[in-house]
Structure 1
Amino acid sequence: MQAYEYKVIPAPQRGEKERGLKTGAERFAHALTLTMNELAAEGWEYWRAEALPAEERAGLTSKTTVFHNLLVFRRPFRGEGISGEAPALAAQSAAERRARMLSVYAPEGKAPRLGPAEEEEV
């Protein structure tokens, strides 16, 4: 079974001006084309668009739900992972690799504790 890695970006919210494009729809399509071609040059294949809800603050105490338009791209998983993790990923089962690909790559554990800022002596 082919494994993929995914990239999700916000969809353009307004069109890009270009000579000969007069309507808003033409300009928006042009902005979308530019975005998709940039990612295609990096090896990403357009997969689909999604409108997903997100809860955001509205004022001091209330919250509201807004929808974000996102573009989903994918490319075949090359196996090296981020920062050369090939040996570690090769030892994992296919299910573990798929679960890791869909998660955020971050070291586990707490962030280091920082001490108070020191003043410079002049």
Structure 2
Amino acid sequence: MIDRRTLIQSAPIAALAAGATAHTSQLDPHRAWVAEYSVTHERLYAPGTTDFGTDHPDWLRLRELDKLICTTPATTPEGAAIQLEFALSDEANMDLTGGIAGDLDNHVLRNVLATLKSLT
């Protein structure tokens, strides 16, 4: 499970907050990884799917994708937004929010996500 500190350390939020815009000749791979994660997750947890073990190829690929999505720094605001959106998704199940009274942690992360999306 990825905790809040690891998530924040892996995202280039400090650079984005300072108004920096990352330039790269290649697109972030995060969009493709999240798309593959979603397809694999849906297939693995589809209704009627039999129980699987932790050695199932789809389960192993989800763990690989988790690590890639969460530990590879984004190089664009879009990539950072994709990472944060993934972290907040039900599929990722990271339980990042709910630890601060008034759901303030959820609000701040959703605001950061909205800002990142507005930069893309």
Q: TM-score range by the shorter chain?
A: under 0.3
Which of 1 and 2 has greater Rg?
1
**TM-score normalised to the size of structure 2?**
0.26
Q: 1 or 2, which has the higher helix percentage?
A: 2
Relative to its length, the structure with more strand (as a share) is 1
More relative contact order, 1 or 2 (CA 8 Å, 6+ apart): 2
Q: TM-score, structure 1 length as denominator?
A: 0.26
